[in-house]
Amino acid sequence: MHTDINKLFENLWNDYIEMTPSAEQVHQLLSRGETIINDHIALRTFNIEKVNLKVLAAHLESLGYVDSGDYHFEAKKLKAKHFEHPDAMQPKVFISELLVEEFSPELQNTIKSLVEQIDVAATKADNFLYSGRHWELDSKTYEALLAESEYAAWVAAFGYRANHFTVSINHLPGYTSILDVNETLKKGDFVLNSAGGEVKGSAEVLLEQSSTMADRISVSFTDAEKEIPSCFYEFALRYPKADGSLYTGFVAASADKIFESTNAS
Ligand code: OOG
Ligand code: NI
């Protein structure tokens, strides 16, 4: 387990930009040399005991993170939680898990055989949250997973790493609206996720979000190299609650669409 939060996020970021070459460009475009504060990152897994949401969460709870919200995505067959740190400037963490038992026997068998290949010790190691894939995967199996669940295929191909980082627009110098951020991104030729509209959420639900579509990178399968969607960048603007403090939760209807940023566009 990590003992230093900043080191953990530095390692997550370094892995993330290797998977997401556009993220460094977006970061430069928006930051103009100033520091960017991350609203949250997201992690994905399967609900099999050896690697479930709890196993990932343990790495964050040991750093003082607290379970702060539950979400269920029925159509995508996912459950999720978000975690907050007592130091509000630390990024929140959104962790989801695929409800494997709700899928076909074929998908269940595939996922079980992938998870069997992980060494339990690796799930407890310092680097687990950015350790990537722990199993062999051929491109036919990837395609078969993709036909049933984009999420299952993504986790099978990429394993354990940040699926996205999220710029906090509240802390972004020079911007006060998400539309301005989206405009800057589109002028820079970055492609936004338009599922359900480019802006997900509203001031009414206290959270507006947008995201790029995932980069496509070359991934090695046992039988081939293939270009597939990797990771994306998200942008979030939070609004104050009645007590004046910023809303810190997530909005399930918006999250449902953010997940689609790793779909093949
Ligand atoms: C998580 C999608 C949800 C948000 O901010 O609502 C999310 C994922 O794609 O793994 O990040
Ligand atoms: Ni997110």
Burial category of 32 from C-beta neighbours within 10 Å (exposed 0-12, middle 13-18, buried 19 and up): exposed
Beta strands of 154-215 (E only): which ranges?
A: 164-168, 200-202, 207-211
User: How many Å apart are CA 110 and CA 261, to the nearest integer?
Assistant: 24
Question: Please, what are the averages of pLDDT over each run of 10 residues along the chain (265 residues)?
Answer: 87 98 98 96 99 98 98 98 98 99 98 98 98 98 98 98 98 97 98 98 98 98 98 98 98 98 90
Range of the domain at 19: 5-262
User: How far is it, in rounded angstroms, from Cα 158 to Cα 154?
Assistant: 6
Cα 113 to ligand 1 centre (Å): 26
The answer to whether 73 and 18 have CB atoms below 8 angstroms apart is no
Pocket of ligand 1 (CB under 6 A): 42, 44, 94, 96, 163, 209, 234, 250, 254-255, 258-259
Residue type, 52: N
Alpha-carbon distance values, 167 to 41, 91, 164, 176 (Å): 9, 10, 10, 13
- Give dist(CA 6, CA 89) in Å, integer: 11
Rg (CA), the chain: 18
Q: Tell the residue number behind the tokens 């539309």, with chain if given.
A: 179
Backbone angles phi and psi of 8, in degrees to 5: -60, -50
Which ligand 1 atom lies nearest to the CA of residue 259? 9
8 Å CB contact between 165 and 234: yes
Q: Which residue has the tokens 């960017």?
A: 36
Residue nearest to atom 1 of ligand 1 (CA): 259
Distances (CA, A) of 206 to 139, 250, 254: 41, 9, 12
Q: What is the DSSP letter of 262?
A: G
Quote the CA–CA distance of 56 and 128 in Å, as a whole number: 8
Q: Strand pairing partners for 232?
A: 164
Q: In a 10 Å sphere around its CB, with 0-12 CB exposed, 13-18 middle and 19+ buried, how is residue 27 labelled? A: middle
Length reported for the chain: 265
CATH number at residue 200: 3.10.180.50
Tell me which of 73, 76, 258 to substitute to probe ligand 1's pocket, judged by most ligand atoms within 8 Å of the beta carbon.
Answer: 258
In testing the pocket of ligand 1, which one of 43, 79, 164 has its CB within 8 Å of the most ligand atoms? 164
Count of structural domains within the chain: 1
* Residue having the nearest C-alpha atom to atom 2 of ligand 1: 259
> What phi and psi values does residue 33 have, to the nearest 5 degrees?
90, -15
Tell me which residues have their CB within 5 A of the ion that is ligand 2: 42, 234
Query: Has this prediction a pTM greater than 0.90?
Result: yes
Contact (CB, 8 A) for 77 and 104 = no
